[in-house]
Structure 1
Amino acid sequence: MEEYKKRIIKVISYIDDHLDTDLSLQKIAEVGAYSPFHFHRIFRLMTGETVQQYISRKRIERSALYLALRKQLSLKDIYLQFGFSSHSAFSKAFKSHYEKSPSEFRKSAPENFHQIRLQESKNGQTDAVFTTYLCNIENLLNWTTMNLTVKVIHLPEMHLAAVMSLGIAHVESSYNVLIDWAKGKNLFPGENVKMISVYHDSFKVTPPDKVRIHACMLLDKKLEKQEGEIFAETIEAGKFIVANGEITLDDFEKSWVSLFLWMKENDYSVRKAFPFEIYHTNFKEHPEGKMIVDFCIPVN
């Protein structure tokens, strides 16, 4: 099973990095060192989706981000980039996923793309939903001012050890795998240990049970090779909006939403890289369940 996980991690990373290319089952199976027949079955067992379902969903979700954030691109530019043969095929697939056409989605995006509401789920948790406001813009920006210290700074390259999580519910178990590995390397616990969550999907376009998050630990040097579920990830050096604050777990959604609004209000645009969180303290060790966190958005 560990070898299967290692190969699937490699395959998912390859798919996500090549959504604008021809992703044949044969090619993807080769990346994972499987025969196409066995790979198809193993992928579905590990992810809950067929290979084609995963690729189709990721292309639609990536096109949604482009529609919202890359206004200079035409609909045709976007659907051709992600492998749709025609406007009608793209519109049909997009509407099936988001219940609105690409044009309707793009028109609504400037007003509510970075604003969400909270909807109670069956287990009492909250799910991110795209449709309405969490609260108005002014209140969110005021919340940012009161609770977060925001800077735009250059961050250096960071080398990470990572464990992939498919779905928000599996992040804690991914960190447990990472910590067990780090203990075996005498890297944990330690005064200067930094845990980092890297978001490879957006909750605005990807359901919480499908979102890909990497549970990571900052290393002094690059991990040379994959060790079981542990693989190397690098955050490239560059300009970031960094918001620091001491907050509870319930404040995470509000922090991200308000920070993206701050970004828009201050005329910054997202760079093609992944946002992440850096944890400086552990909420389990605080009497009020608070933790010190950096929220980091790559910008141009």
Structure 2
Amino acid sequence: MDREYKKRIERVIQYIETHLTEKISLADVAKVSHFSPYHFHRIFTGVIGETVNDYIARRRLERAANLLIFKDQLTVTQIALACGFSSSANFAKAVKLHFGFTPSQIRNPEKVKNSKIGKIFSKYGKDFHPRDLYPAHITNEVMIKTKSKDINMNVEIKDLDTQRVCTLVSQRGYEPESIYNAWDKIIEWATNNGIKADEQQRFAFAFDNPTVTPEDKCRYSASIVVGENVSIKPPFSPSEIPKGKYAVVYFKGSPEETIQAQLGIYSDWLPNSGFEPDNFPMLERYLNDARVDGYVEMEIYVKLKDL
């Protein structure tokens, strides 16, 4: 993709993400892109694979599903208004249409018997059941399947200084081949720039929850910590891990089990921690090569702020 096109569309995505709780004017979105309003919508659909309206609707509903699970102190009406819906009735209808489940069913999956197939399957091919959002269910399912006992997980709070990183986007989200392709390229880039493989600090920016968002729509960026004097040119981009307080979970186990550690932070640890997640994506710091070792060893970082 042309560098300028990519830059403009990324600017549009950032604008949408920061205005999801508000009424988003398509004219304003087109203006942010600096493309002609006559052609912007076709450009966005061609690059992202969804119309602007579909993207906004999906992101609002994904945000809502996460709030239904991890913010149980909020009422359905509060969540509806917080996600840009005019009423709880309109919200419930949209949730049912997209996921195939009502908000109350998402909050109480054990009471669910049958449900219609929602748009998330018919449009994106993603199976969805609200019980998959709960770590206890995932833990039981995974443990029965893998019979793995090699899980070592604990939580601590760390203070990090600002770190400059070089990033590379996974073009097809969380699809494994796309992720490995991004890592192979950025590791080679770092090595060519004098950062030895065994000295590379590798972080992934994991923006979305794959139990809610279709795999290829999840936003994922591979990154490696670099010095201020290192030149970064396309297709790589400079970014930073901001200074702050982070909840850190050490995890060792099979790739399928990582989701239990990630969701466990939100459901088991955060509610009694005195903190809430800050407005920054989850980070995964990889400590090994899963393709070589057959297991994942990593630290999961969630940036915190006081309640």
Tell me, yes or no, whether TM beats 0.5: yes
Question: Can you list the C-alpha shifts for 1:136-155, whole angstroms capped at 9, x where unaligned?
Answer: 29969xx8984224231214
Question: Can you list the C-alpha shifts for 1:17-50, whole angstroms capped at 9, x where unaligned?
Answer: 3211232222222322212222211111111100
Unmatched segments (≥5 aa) in structure 2: 113-125
| Secondary structure in 1 matching 2:158 | strand
Distance 1:162 1:135 in 2: 31
Distance 2:142 2:198 in 1: 39
Change (3 A) 1:263 1:92: closer
Distance 1:26 1:231 in 2: 30
| Secondary structure in 1 matching 2:97 | helix
Q: By how many angstroms is 1:178 displaced? A: 3.5
Distance 1:174 1:219 in 2: 17
Which residue pairs with 2:115 in the alignment?
none
1:236-255 equivalences in 2 (<5 Å): 236-245=243-252, 247=253, 251-255=254-258
The one of 274, 277, 281 aligned to 2:281? 274
Which residue pairs with 2:181 in the alignment?
173
Q: By how many angstroms is 1:52 displaced? A: 0.8
Kindly indicate whether residue 192 of structure 2 is the aligned counterpart of residue 192 of structure 1. Answer: no
Distance 1:103 1:11 in 2: 33
Distance 1:218 1:128 in 2: 35
Q: For the Cα contact (< 8 Å) 1:25–1:36, is it kept in 2?
A: no
Change (3 A) 1:41 1:187: farther
Question: Can you list the C-alpha shifts for 1:245-297, whole angstroms capped at 9, x where unaligned?
Answer: 3x4xxx1231331453376445447513322211123334x3x4345322334
| Secondary structure in 2 matching 1:136 | helix
Amino acid aligned to 1:152: E
Which residue pairs with 2:42 in the alignment?
41
The one of 282, 290, 298 aligned to 1:293? 298
Amino acid aligned to 1:154: K
Kindly indicate whether residue 107 of structure 2 is the aligned counterpart of residue 106 of structure 1. Answer: yes
| Secondary structure in 2 matching 1:204 | coil
CA-based RMSD of the aligned residues comes to 3.5
Which residue pairs with 2:123 in the alignment?
none
Name whichever of 160-169 and 64-73 sits farther off.
160-169
Q: By how many angstroms is 1:85 displaced? A: 1.7
| Secondary structure in 2 matching 1:276 | strand
Identity rate, percent: 27
1:91-240 equivalences in 2 (<5 Å): 91-108=92-109, 130-131=130-131, 133-136=137-140, 146-156=150-160, 157-165=162-170, 166-169=172-175, 170-179=178-187, 181-182=189-190, 186-221=193-228, 227-228=234-235, 230-240=237-247
Which residue pairs with 2:14 in the alignment?
13
Unmatched segments (≥5 aa) in structure 1: 113-125
Q: For the Cα contact (< 8 Å) 1:238–1:298, is it kept in 2?
A: yes
Distance 1:260 1:144 in 2: 19
Distance 2:202 2:75 in 1: 39
Q: For the Cα contact (< 8 Å) 1:162–1:233, is it kept in 2?
A: no
Question: Can you list the C-alpha shifts for 1:3-27, whole angstroms capped at 9, x where unaligned?
Answer: 2222222222332232112322222
Amino acid aligned to 1:147: I
Amino acid aligned to 2:211: K
| Secondary structure in 2 matching 1:160 | strand
Question: Can you list the C-alpha shifts for 1:151-197, whole angstroms capped at 9, x where unaligned?
Answer: 3121403332223334222323333553465466x155443212211
Change (3 A) 1:103 1:291: closer
Change (3 A) 1:33 1:44: same
TM-score (norm. length: structure 1): 0.77
Q: By how many angstroms is 1:53 displaced? A: 0.4
TM-score (norm. length: structure 2): 0.75
| Secondary structure in 2 matching 1:243 | strand
| Secondary structure in 2 matching 1:56 | helix
Which residue pairs with 1:2 in the alignment?
2
Amino acid aligned to 2:283: F
Distance 1:25 1:69 in 2: 30
